[in-house]
Structure 1
Amino acid sequence: MNKKWLSYTGLVLVAVIWGANFGISRLAMESFHPIVFSFLRFGVAIPFFFLILKLTEGSIGVPWRLVPKLMLIGLLGITLLEITVMYSIKYTTLANASLLNVAPWPIFVALFAPLFTRETITSRLVVGGVIAMIGVCFVILGGDEGFALSSDNMLGNAMAFGVSIIGALFNLSSVSLMKQYSALRVSTWTILFGAIFMLPLTIGSWGQTDWQSLGTVQWLSIAYNVLICTVLAFVVWNACMFKVGATRSNFFRYAVPAAAVVAGYILFDERIAMLQLGGAALMAAGLVWISIERKKA
């Protein structure tokens, strides 16, 4: 069995984890301020990252010359990206945010890839990517909200579209570092700096959470975000992305909305339309087509 299938499986697994987190985070947002919750997700994860890094690689340090680049990546891919995602959801519909966050992301990765890597765009990647993109559009637009073109949503739409650009640059800059350092080391330090930059933004927000009234659901949502959605997911995604390439791997983000729809059905009894089921099947077909490796002569 081609070892790359393990990487593709890892990408799908992480996409499902991130998709399910839409529903889990929605439950948590009823009790937490969004910026505080985002900081807790990354801030609490930092000790786990450093502990795993020490146990698996024997050291935790990075060269001083690398620190400015890690700081910039953390600011871009953790602080700025997370805040932009949060406010894009606030200023537009969930359907708009989902579509504009997810659909253009792999396209920007493909466009920017020559600046960071030597990846090439193949016809198989283009065909599979287009099929998967059409499928994810059906998944998102097949819901009750649809796509809203109201002028009230323009700011949120622009921010959601910007998420795709920021995210693509974040992925590619991380991959360029993984040629010298492990995915775990890169993830550990970028998340550390991202959380440091995010901390000042939480000032004045901590008192808006009634900590004494938090129940099992809220604490479990934090645990899921820290251990599963951040520690496990970031390491697995970065490692798999390095194996199969940033351009190819980012098309697997299209599985995130499908997982979010299932989470909405399980947690909030939201309806799943036939168009969404058809879109999920089409998206899966596109991703499988991308994953199939032809034997070279």
Structure 2
Amino acid sequence: MKQERKWMYYIGLAVCAAIWGANFGVSRKGMETFDPELFAFLRFSLALPFFFLILKLKEGRIGLPFKMVPRLALMGLFGITGLEIMVMYSIKYTTLANASLLNVAPWPIFAALFGPFFLRERITSRLAIGGIAAMVGVCFIILGGGAGLDVSSDNMVGNVLAFAVSIIGALFNLACMPLMRQYSPLFVSTWYTVFGVAFMLPLTIPSWGKVDWSALGGDEYTAIAFNVLVCTVFAITAWNASMLRIGATRANFFRYLVPAFAVAAGYLFFDESISAWQLAGGVFMAAGLAWISMERGDGTTILQKPV
């Protein structure tokens, strides 16, 4: 991979992290109106027409081989239905600091640990050093804020869910990689979303009647539009395409940028303060991710052409 093209994929990962960082606050706002299951369902079901349109325009095909149905259905069940509902409930039942730390910090570690079972990705000394520096940075950023880490019993359910998200999410990313080397990230993302939405629909039945649809205003529609178009259609497509080229282990360390961008958004738009610990964390994180990015090669197997 040419160095200049490699940097383009790293920038793509950083942009996705910025979007998802901003979405922590947007999602919590949305759940003041919608149950977590319904909010997640609206996000992914409304994204599906855009996925199919882009897939048709870009690749000229949308059909799914029957042999791939069981595998993609399983991925949709765990990676969309289960994972996204767990994310929503973790945000609802614990603090944003806890959710962002426990969702994000362990995820790349589990991806590195489980990687050899799915892929032939090497864990190099550069990756280990850069990953440790980035992890220290993200802990400084989250714990250095005013909220800090709250391990009280009131937040235990949300904390457990947030930690489980990091395990399931890492396994989901790794399971996607072999398929994305056969087909394309966009094709795989579209079809596992179809199955995820189908499994999620029955869970939303009790939630539809709780919403006063006629009273929805600009805030609610903005939250839905941001989740559908930016967080889902754009960010999932860009993340999977970049992860395919960079490698799952390296790409997942860029998730550490998510809470950093959440803090930056709070400072820019909500007049929240930034502490010296958070600034130091930003330096550690930037240094660690830059160190990972400068490694020659990507540590992955040779990619197959899409079929």
The verdict on a shared fold, with TM-score over 0.5 as the criterion, is yes
Tell me, what secondary structure is at the counterpart of 2:51? helix
CA deviation profile, 1:50-97 (whole Å, cap 9, x unmatched): 111111111101211111000001111111111111222333332222
Distance 2:73 2:17 in 1: 26
Change (3 A) 1:102 1:137: same
What residue is the counterpart of 1:9 in the other structure? 11
Distance 1:128 1:190 in 2: 32
CA deviation profile, 1:198-243 (whole Å, cap 9, x unmatched): 1111111112222112222221221111111100111110010000
What residue is the counterpart of 1:196 in the other structure? 198
What residue is the counterpart of 1:176 in the other structure? 178
The answer to whether the 8 Å contact 1:22/1:263 transfers is: no
Distance 1:89 1:24 in 2: 11
Q: TM-score, normalised by structure 1?
A: 0.95
Distance 1:108 1:80 in 2: 18
Distance 2:17 2:176 in 1: 18
CA deviation profile, 1:95-135 (whole Å, cap 9, x unmatched): 22211110010010011111111101000000000000000
The answer to whether the 8 Å contact 1:251/1:287 transfers is: yes
Change (3 A) 1:153 1:249: same
CA deviation profile, 1:235-273 (whole Å, cap 9, x unmatched): 110010000100000000000001111222334332222
Give the number of aligned pairs.
296
Match of 1:119 among 118, 121, 141: 121
Q: Which amino acid aligns with 1:85?
A: V
**Counterparts of 1:28-177 in structure 2 under 5 Å?**
28-177=30-179
Q: Which amino acid aligns with 2:268?
A: I
Q: Percent same amino acid among aligned pairs?
A: 65
The answer to whether the 8 Å contact 1:19/1:257 transfers is: yes
**Counterparts of 1:275-290 in structure 2 under 5 Å?**
275-290=277-292
The answer to whether the 8 Å contact 2:98/2:159 transfers is: yes
What residue is the counterpart of 1:255 in the other structure? 257
Q: Which runs of 5+ in 1 are unaligned?
A: none
Q: Which amino acid aligns with 2:242?
A: C
Q: Which moved more, 1:95-104 or 1:21-30?
A: 21-30
Distance 1:239 1:294 in 2: 19
Change (3 A) 1:229 1:219: same
Change (3 A) 1:22 1:248: same
Distance 2:265 2:37 in 1: 22
Distance 2:288 2:176 in 1: 26
RMSD, matched Cα: 1.6
* 1:295 CA drift (Å): 7.9
Distance 1:183 1:156 in 2: 31
Distance 1:231 1:128 in 2: 30
The answer to whether the 8 Å contact 2:34/2:207 transfers is: no
Q: Which runs of 5+ in 2 are unaligned?
A: 299-307
**Counterparts of 1:193-232 in structure 2 under 5 Å?**
193-232=195-234
